[in-house]
Structure 1
Amino acid sequence: MLLSLYISKRFRAYSGHNDGQNGFVSFIAKASTIGILLGVAVLIVALSVINGFEQQLVHRLLSVVPQVEYVAPNRPIDNWPSKVGLLKQQDTVTGVAPFISVNGMAQHKGDLKAVEIRGVEPSLEGHVSAVNQFTQGRLVSQLRYEDIILGNRIVEKLGLALGDPVTLLIPQINQQSSVLLAPKRIRLHLAGIIKMGGPIDDSAAFIRLDKAQAVLGFEDQQVTGLRLKVADVFTAHQIAMQVGQAIPDFVYVSSWFRTQGSLYQDIQMVRTIVYIVVFLIIAVASFNIVSSLVMEVREKQANIAILKTMGAQDSTILATFVMQGFTQALIGVLLGSIIGVLLALNISELFAWFSHLFSANPLQGVYFIEFLPSKLIWQDIAITVVVTFVLAILATLYPAWQATRIEPAKVLGN
């Protein structure tokens, strides 16, 4: 093995001379190394960004949007405290809170904005939602009877500031004739602003549960739905169907898979596409090694023949050229991993710098976040390195085997 390593090093040094075919072989070898380098770096960065999006989906979006909801379709849910107690007894449930949800309009000085109004119980909402982490001013857990908390984009659209009066317009329907009546007008004060950097900023409006009950004519223990936080968000739908059997009421079952599931599926689909495309790039770069080694074997037929006449075994010749390709892959993998890790660790800052430089953020208003997240998982790097080395070694086997078939008498005779 040491002899093969020494010969491989000598061959590589000789191929570095830029004279005729030696220079061309060296160029092909360097091109394959650069291809592997770029493929490894791109795969590490792409997977880190995808992992970052998945992490933000779980710890940011799914910590605020309902993970599981039970919504009454016809009449309100009665005696919600007892239903909360029933649901809390389930092992897979970590938090339960009641709510009243209704669509309406927020008005300020003649400007209108559609909002999703949610009446929440301040003492329980923190058990199912992390909205307090993204709220400026008074938190949801500190809501007073005349307070309202709005999303940041609603505030900007209406030109509001903390403490300003806000009028909510809530539609009314005559249940007997299904005629739309004049909307109810509620005057509140802006107590808090939600800044998540996603669609919630454009629609969320929180008021107290007892305020919503009074406006809609509900009794003290009547709500339109119950919201759950579950132990495993990725099994939320199964948990929702199982736990829902504990409620005696007729309710619609909803999980985040219905409202945000397409986003999660998009992330997984992009991950699969990135794996396939980038590994194909690495495979092409690895099999460029075949071209360089085939030309090198043809160029060094005389050297191989002399080595054989001096007693070199086929295994020594085979190992020599396998090490040639392995060295090219090793350089590409090491440099690509270093570049990829450095980019992955700083991609958020680089994205923010480019967005500021060009005064444009392509993520704004499109996704649930307005920055480029990154989460480096070392298992991804390990998989990338192992697969790249496997492809590179496979690419060296055919040229190395061809080198062992050279007949010294025939080559030296010519």
Structure 2
Amino acid sequence: MNLSLFLSQRFRKAKRDNGFIGFIGKASSAGIGLGIAVLIVALSVFNGFEQQLVERLLAVVPHVEYEAPNRPINNWPSKVKQLADHSEVAAASPFIKLNGMAQFKNELKAVEVSAIDPAFETEVSDIGKFISPTPLQALQKGQIILGKQIFEALGVNIGDSITVLLPNLNTKSDHLAAAKKLRLVVVGQIAMGGPVDHSTGLIHLSQAQDLLDLSADQVMGLRLKLYDVFNAHRTAMSIGSELNDYVYVNTWFRSQGNLYQDIQMVRTIIYLVVFLIIAVASFNIVSTLVMEVKEKQSNIAILKTMGATDRMIIMTFMLHGMFQAFVGMLGGTLLGVGLALSLPDIFLWWNQLSGTNVLAGVYFVEFLPSKLVVSDIAVTLLVTFIMTSIATIYPAWQASRIDPAKVLGQ
């Protein structure tokens, strides 16, 4: 092995008769490096979006909702306690959800009103972190907190009174009665980016209970926060079977699952495409080594007459080709890691330079997240190493097949 390594270094440093061979070798290394850098950066972005999905969006969106379609859920405090005591549940809270219209002067905007108990809601959702100036815990009857986009569309200010048109569900006859007008004071806005800002309005639970003629211990739904968000469907069905009420079961997969699936699908596509690019660059090493073997066949013949074994020749040229790959892998890793770590700052700088933000109002974040995962780098380097190792086998084997008598006899 030591002799093979020494010979590969001598072949690499030796002056070439054909400069095109050196160019092809450098191009192969550059192709491998760029492929690795692109893959590291792309995976870091997808990891960042997935992290933000869990820590930002899923920290606000309920993991599980049990919603009564017809009759209200009675004695909700005891049922909230029952759900919260489950080993897979972090917290539970009551809610009433209504669709309505918010009106201010001549402006109208659709709003999905969630009536919540602030004390319980802060346990299942981190939405309070994105509410200002009034904290969620201070929300009282007669007040409303609106999403930023609704806030701006209506043109309201903190302290203004708006009219909210909400359905009047008569729980005794199960019929939808004429809409009721609620006069509510705007005390805060939700500014987290994404769909929550476009559709959400928060009012106190007692406000909706009065609207629907419900008693203080009756609600239309229960929300859960789970420890394992990616196991929400199985957990929701298992826990829901323990409730005595007839409810619809909804999980975050129904409302936000398409976004998560898109992230995973694009991640897989990126893996396949970039690994194909790396494969092409890796197998360019084949042509480089074939030309190297052709150029160095007299040297190889002399080595074989001096006692070099076929195994030694094969190892020499495999190490020679793998060094080219190593240069590309090292350069690509350094470039990819550097870009992945600085990508959020680069994106912010570009936004400031261009004056636009391509993510604004499109995704649930308005910045470009990046999360570097060591295992992604390890997998990328391992697969690249395997592909380049395979690429060197055939030229190295061809080198070992050289017949000294034929070459030196010419």
The TM-score, its normalising length taken from structure 1, stands at 0.95
- 1:4-153 aligned at under 5 Å gives the runs 4-15=4-15, 17=16, 22-153=18-149
The question of whether the paired residues in 2 share the 8 Å contact of 1:64 and 1:131 is answered with: yes
Rounded Cα–Cα distance in structure 2 between residues aligned with 1:299 and 1:53: 50
SS at 1:363 equivalent: coil
Counterpart of 2:187?
191
Deviation per CA, 1:24-56, whole angstroms, max 9, x where unpaired? Answer: 111110111001000100111111111111111
Rounded Cα–Cα distance in structure 2 between residues aligned with 1:163 and 1:271: 45
Rounded Cα–Cα distance in structure 1 between residues aligned with 2:395 and 2:156: 72
Rounded Cα–Cα distance in structure 2 between residues aligned with 1:24 and 1:385: 27
Rounded Cα–Cα distance in structure 1 between residues aligned with 2:204 and 2:232: 27
Matched to 1:171, the amino acid is P
- Deviation of residue 408 (structure 1)? 0.6
Matched to 1:7, the amino acid is L
Counterpart of 1:366?
362
What is the number of equivalent residue pairs in this alignment?
Answer: 409
Counterpart of 2:286?
290
Rounded Cα–Cα distance in structure 2 between residues aligned with 1:168 and 1:275: 49
- 1:197-216 aligned at under 5 Å gives the runs 197-216=193-212
- Deviation of residue 178 (structure 1)? 5.9
The question of whether the paired residues in 2 share the 8 Å contact of 1:149 and 1:207 is answered with: yes
1:307 paired to 2:298: no
Rounded Cα–Cα distance in structure 2 between residues aligned with 1:170 and 1:74: 17
| Higher alpha-carbon deviation: 278-287 or 81-90 | 81-90
Rounded Cα–Cα distance in structure 2 between residues aligned with 1:58 and 1:199: 15
Deviation per CA, 1:381-413, whole angstroms, max 9, x where unpaired? Answer: 111111111111111011001000100110011
The question of whether the paired residues in 1 share the 8 Å contact of 2:170 and 2:213 is answered with: no
- Deviation of residue 173 (structure 1)? 6.4
The question of whether the paired residues in 1 share the 8 Å contact of 2:168 and 2:211 is answered with: no
- Deviation of residue 128 (structure 1)? 0.6
- 1:233-244 aligned at under 5 Å gives the runs 233-244=229-240
The question of whether the paired residues in 1 share the 8 Å contact of 2:170 and 2:212 is answered with: no
- Deviation of residue 98 (structure 1)? 0.2
- Deviation of residue 172 (structure 1)? 3.8
Counterpart of 2:216?
220
Matched to 1:190, the amino acid is V
The question of whether the paired residues in 2 share the 8 Å contact of 1:86 and 1:247 is answered with: no
The question of whether the paired residues in 2 share the 8 Å contact of 1:4 and 1:319 is answered with: yes
Change (3 A) 1:300 1:177: closer
The question of whether the paired residues in 1 share the 8 Å contact of 2:65 and 2:223 is answered with: yes
The TM-score, its normalising length taken from structure 2, stands at 0.96
- 1:302-381 aligned at under 5 Å gives the runs 302-381=298-377
- Deviation of residue 282 (structure 1)? 0.8
Rounded Cα–Cα distance in structure 2 between residues aligned with 1:227 and 1:124: 10
Matched to 1:72, the amino acid is A
Rounded Cα–Cα distance in structure 1 between residues aligned with 2:285 and 2:69: 65
- Deviation of residue 179 (structure 1)? 7.2
SS at 1:145 equivalent: coil
Rounded Cα–Cα distance in structure 2 between residues aligned with 1:308 and 1:301: 10
Rounded Cα–Cα distance in structure 2 between residues aligned with 1:369 and 1:158: 23
Matched to 1:11, the amino acid is F
Deviation per CA, 1:260-311, whole angstroms, max 9, x where unpaired? Answer: 1111111111111111111111111110000100111011111111111122
- Deviation of residue 359 (structure 1)? 2.5
- Deviation of residue 356 (structure 1)? 2.5
The question of whether the paired residues in 1 share the 8 Å contact of 2:192 and 2:365 is answered with: yes
Rounded Cα–Cα distance in structure 2 between residues aligned with 1:207 and 1:243: 27
Counterpart of 1:255?
251
Rounded Cα–Cα distance in structure 2 between residues aligned with 1:210 and 1:174: 16
The question of whether the paired residues in 1 share the 8 Å contact of 2:64 and 2:232 is answered with: yes
- Deviation of residue 205 (structure 1)? 0.4
Rounded Cα–Cα distance in structure 2 between residues aligned with 1:371 and 1:104: 31
Rounded Cα–Cα distance in structure 2 between residues aligned with 1:276 and 1:267: 14
Rounded Cα–Cα distance in structure 2 between residues aligned with 1:177 and 1:132: 34
- Deviation of residue 161 (structure 1)? 2.0
SS at 2:217 equivalent: coil
Deviation per CA, 1:166-220, whole angstroms, max 9, x where unpaired? Answer: 2211134678696762x32111221111111111000110011011111222211
The question of whether the paired residues in 2 share the 8 Å contact of 1:87 and 1:246 is answered with: no
The question of whether the paired residues in 2 share the 8 Å contact of 1:140 and 1:206 is answered with: no
Matched to 1:342, the amino acid is G
Rounded Cα–Cα distance in structure 2 between residues aligned with 1:179 and 1:95: 32
The question of whether the paired residues in 2 share the 8 Å contact of 1:154 and 1:202 is answered with: yes
The question of whether the paired residues in 2 share the 8 Å contact of 1:40 and 1:384 is answered with: yes
Matched to 2:61, the amino acid is V
Counterpart of 1:402?
398
SS at 2:14 equivalent: helix
SS at 2:244 equivalent: coil
SS at 1:126 equivalent: helix
In structure 2, the gaps of 5 or more residues are none
SS at 2:262 equivalent: helix
Rounded Cα–Cα distance in structure 2 between residues aligned with 1:118 and 1:139: 16
- Deviation of residue 355 (structure 1)? 2.3
Q: Alpha carbon RMSD of aligned pairs, Å?
A: 1.6
The question of whether the paired residues in 2 share the 8 Å contact of 1:28 and 1:292 is answered with: yes
